[in-house]
Each structure stands twice: as C-alpha cells, then as structure tokens.
Amino acid sequence: MQVKDKVVIVTGAGSGIGAAIAKHFAKHNAKVIVSDYNAEKARNTINEIKANQGEATLILADVTKYEDIENLISKTVSVYGRLDIMVNNAGVGPKNVVRTADYTLEDWHNVIAVNQTGVFYGMQLALKQMLLQGEGNIVNIASLAGLKASRNNISYSASKFAVVGMTKSAALEYATKNIRVNAICPGYTESPLLDKLLATHSEMDQRLKSVIPMKRYGYPDEIAEAVVWIASDTTKFITGQTITLDGGTSL
C-alpha cells in the first residue's frame, strides 16, 4: 500500500485498534506519531514499532483538550514539516450499559467528549494544517453502532453516528481541496473496550457472536489493514465513505 514516508498521527494508539493501526502504518514504512493520554501504553506501541525497524514518535495528548491536539499537530509539523494522514481513533465506552432513562450524566458527557468532540478537534486542526499544505487525508474510526441502532448504549451510539455525519460533511466541504475524509466502522472487535463489556456482562459473549454471521469477533489487525488502505494513495477517488468491517453483522 502506498503510504511510504507519509507522516501519520494515530490517536488512542496505546492499545487495541489504535495500536494495531500505528503498527500497520509503520510496517508499510510510514512515519508514525503514536499519541495517547497513557504514556506507558503509548511507549509499548513505540517500542514494538522500533523493534521491527519502524519509525515512530511519541506525543502525548488528551483528545478532549483542544490545546493538547494543537500541541500534537504543531509538534508533528515541527518534527516532520507536514501532516499527511490524521487517524482519529481514540474512543471510550460508557461505564454502565443501561437503558436511556437510567443513563448517567457522567457516562453521557465522558463518551461524547472523547468520541465526538475529540474527533471534531482532531478533524478541525488537521484540516487547518492540510489546507496550508494543499493536501491531506483524514480517517475517523466510527463504528457499526454509528450505522444502526444500538440498545443500552445511547452515548456511544450518538457519538458514532456523529462521527459518520462529521466525516461526510467534511468530505463534501474539502473534496476540491485535495483532502479526503473517510470513516472506518468496525463491528464487534477484540479490544480493551469489548473486554471491559464482557468482563461485566459475560453472558453477552455468546449473544454477540450469535448475531455475527462469521461467528467470531474482528481482529484489530483486520481493522488496521482497512485504515491503511483507505489512507493510501491507491484510493485517491474515495472520500466521504463508511467502510464497514463487521463479519456480516449489518446483514
């Protein structure tokens, strides 16, 4: 895939899908900025990339803080002179999986802050830099929950539907500016987010697998491959799309 020497920021790259995305970009010879709010986890990703002769730089950031994303992008540009690809991956789920009437305000505000506002910050600030350059590529990590109803999960569903909408709006706005914006929508994927859900609701394991035609969860590497592909120069005529990787669940 054509991402060699591209400068790539991946948020939430300390674990799960984000770590897999960062490692896959490095595998394809991109220059990767590993960003996370957790320094220890981010360093683990960096160490693995470097152990495999990849190039990676650590810049810590909390995506809910605008100034952190400003710093993330300005430092990236100061080191590499540009930003080719922005992957807005950082995301969280609610602490409590309950119906809307019982939802906590804490869960609502926290999930929206990370999954929706954090993606907006990343998009807006990346776009400012990409407009200066005259080109760029943004990939937002949405979810199957942003394409279809998801019960007992209103903040997560709302945030991921928002990511899909923001992706399409920005893609339309910047299509003539040589800037592409797409979203990847994973279904149930092996990740810390899924592990947390199953740890508190173990009965959901078989229930979830029963609605997946392939009868298994996705693997982070499978999601990462799609992200690198959609961000590569081999897909220059694709923008505003949602690429769904869900083992057939949406069928």
Q: Looking up tokens 């961000």, which residue turns up?
A: 231
Q: What are phi and psi of 227, to 5 degrees?
A: -65, -50
Cα–Cα–Cα angle for 74, 193, 216, rounded to 5 degrees: 125
Name the residue among 163, 182, 200, 198 with its Cα closest to residue 240. Answer: 182
- The answer to whether residues 3 and 27 touch, using CB atoms and an 8 Å cutoff, is no
Contacts of 249 (CB under 8 A, 6+ apart): 144, 187, 188, 211, 212, 213
Name the residue among 119, 158, 141, 160 with its Cα closest to residue 223. Answer: 141
136: which strand partners?
A: 179
Long-range CB pairs of 227-230 (<8 Å, 24+ gap) are 227/21, 227/24, 227/87, 227/139, 227/141, 227/184, 228/1, 228/3, 228/21, 228/24, 228/25, 228/28, 229/1, 230/139, 230/182, 230/184
156 is known as an active-site residue: yes
Q: Which of 156, 174, 188, 217 is catalytic?
A: 156
The set of catalytic residues is 156
